[in-house]
Structure 1
């Protein structure tokens, strides 16, 4: 309607303008009863249009105000509905917050209860006997005991290694690691390391423990020393003799690693009823050639020549036996090869020096036995390894 009123105002303008223009025209021609207004009709038409426009504008304004009120009412209604919805949402949020508050209170109660339990547990742990200080003390004690046990076991393992070297005639091979203990970890896994070393040593033993040549060397001291020297020594009660390298090379040139298994003594003499001989055989030195080395043979024949790099001397030195029967007497009640202990002189070098002594040689009974002693027979039972033919030929040239 505002548009219509504007259109009417626009339509009235031409009439009013034209009427005003006509009113300016002179009206002096002719005879007039009254004044002649030329633009009155147009002005009247324009005014009618203005009135209509004003009426339409007033109506439009009234309608506009009415619509504004209606629109405002609808907006207020919508705002009311929105506020009501927001109130409903807020009520729900309040309900949710109440639930969360209740859950928080429950959690707080649980936390307080748990805190009380933890405090009780902490008080118990801090006051009980088995606390951290006890375990620290136990660690120190067990570490010290474990190290002592490790040290004892290591000594046994090294002894086993020494026995392996002694029996195999190999003094260079090593199996036992002496640095298995680690202080930073209180020796953890040290036992497993030693166990592995023992298994390696056992494997080497099984692969290398081959049967060697088994030989017996019978020696007459009367023949070895000569009649006069033998008689003088017997009279003195002590006989010193040596079984040198040539004595064995004369039988088997080219042998090496000669190791005694056991030794027996025979003393041919006259004995009375229930009478025993009394003599002690002591090994004063021994030598073993570990490899087929001609320099080692020369050294055994003459210590001023050759090279002793492959010669080992005086293993388990100063062993001795006492004989009583005088007939193939080994100095043992029973000669048993299954004994866990080494036999007397077992493993020592067959090339050796000995002392045979007779206790109290001036006593009547001992003197009677020595006067009737015709000889002393020494039997050396030993094992050896045979070298190749070139080594045997070279050794034979030294004889």
Structure 2
């Protein structure tokens, strides 16, 4: 009987430890602290007393986690960035099947052929607004399609985030590596691809987040793309363009409203990023 009780207790402790590990993963996901030693002790189980202290040890770990979260949970900078896909096209930042698109007519033609538009929101893209920021994380995202929707018609658009990058510390060497995306530099200050390949369907056409209004059934779940890196790569497509060709014919632009949070580095970090921006601008002009 003692062996059976011990086995059941062991299984229960393993289950509770798994839940605590998931809680810790969420803690790191929200605080950006991936360097801290784990809260959960390695010596949970003791065969001498059939693990009777496991509950106390895990409770202590959870209390430490809660206290650390309270200390780290300071309000971040809240920023809204409005992005015009047509503007990205004019800056040669939109592709379809690895082919660079240079006009809006080419964009509409690609969508009509069910091709995937791909575009990047680079670290430099955000630094151009606020140099010296880091830990840029998506809070929410919505898309507007400036087109005339016929009665009882919906948009049928798929948006997918295929990669994202998070700079978790004001590290200028890490920033330099992000300015050269072809070089995948390993750095403790860079976290890549948090919850990648999330998708949303855009059907309303106006300020559409791909989610229903909060109805109480999804309480506690992260919203689409929430807490992923704002520095990211995206794909947008219309899987069945023949179902509504007139919608694409009248499409004037695609507007993305990105709400994101960020932290601000010190003045020396901001100055270094400003210098990096100027150096890259000089190189770009030299190539033109």
**2:190 alignment counterpart:** 311
**2:82 alignment counterpart:** 218
Give the CA deviation at 1:184: 2.7
Decide which of 213, 223, 228 is 1:334's aligned counterpart: 213
**2:57 alignment counterpart:** 193
1:244/1:352 contact within 8 Å kept: yes
Give the CA deviation at 1:280: 1.3
**2:199 alignment counterpart:** 320
State the alpha-carbon separation in 1 of the partners of residues 214 and 264 from structure 2. Answer: 27
Q: Secondary structure at the match of 1:390?
A: helix
Name whichever of 303-312 and 161-170 sits farther off: 303-312
Residues 168-183 of structure 1 correspond to what in structure 2 (within 5 A)?
168-173=31-36, 174-183=38-47
Q: Secondary structure at the match of 2:117?
A: strand
2:112/2:238 contact within 8 Å kept: no
Shift in alpha-carbon separation, 1:210–1:246, aligned structure 2, 3 A: same
State the alpha-carbon separation in 1 of the partners of residues 179 and 77 from structure 2. Answer: 22
Q: Secondary structure at the match of 2:48?
A: helix
**2:97 alignment counterpart:** none
Residue segments in structure 1 that go unaligned for 5+ positions in a row: 1-136
Give the CA deviation at 1:336: 8.1
TM (norm. structure 2) is 0.86
1:298/1:305 contact within 8 Å kept: no
**1:295 alignment counterpart:** 173
Count of aligned residue pairs for this structure pair:
260
**2:235 alignment counterpart:** 355
| Larger RCO (alpha carbons 8 Å, 6+ apart) | 2
**2:72 alignment counterpart:** 208
**2:9 alignment counterpart:** 146
1:164 aligns with 2:27: yes
State the alpha-carbon separation in 2 of the partners of residues 190 and 301 from structure 1. Answer: 47
Q: Secondary structure at the match of 1:257?
A: strand
2:78/2:259 contact within 8 Å kept: yes
1:225/1:241 contact within 8 Å kept: no
1:220/1:378 contact within 8 Å kept: yes
**1:231 alignment counterpart:** 108
State the alpha-carbon separation in 2 of the partners of residues 306 and 152 from structure 1. Answer: 37
**1:9 alignment counterpart:** none
1:240/1:355 contact within 8 Å kept: yes
TM (norm. structure 1) is 0.63
Give the CA deviation at 1:305: 7.6
Name whichever of 365-374 and 149-158 sits farther off: 365-374
Q: Secondary structure at the match of 2:244?
A: helix
Give the CA deviation at 1:359: 1.7
1:370 aligns with 2:233: no
State the alpha-carbon separation in 1 of the partners of residues 190 and 113 from structure 2. Answer: 34
Give the CA deviation at 1:235: 2.9
2:164/2:230 contact within 8 Å kept: yes
Q: Secondary structure at the match of 1:231?
A: helix
State the alpha-carbon separation in 2 of the partners of residues 281 and 151 from structure 1. Answer: 38
Residue segments in structure 2 that go unaligned for 5+ positions in a row: 91-102, 278-288
Q: Secondary structure at the match of 2:30?
A: helix
State the alpha-carbon separation in 2 of the partners of residues 192 and 204 from structure 1. Answer: 18
1:221/1:230 contact within 8 Å kept: no
RMSD of aligned residue pairs (Cα, Å): 1.8
Q: Deviations over 1:295-337 (max 9, x none)?
A: 1111111142865331000011111111111111111111589
Structure number having the greater strand percentage: 2
1:295/1:306 contact within 8 Å kept: no
**2:136 alignment counterpart:** 258
1:345 aligns with 2:225: yes
Q: Secondary structure at the match of 1:185?
A: coil
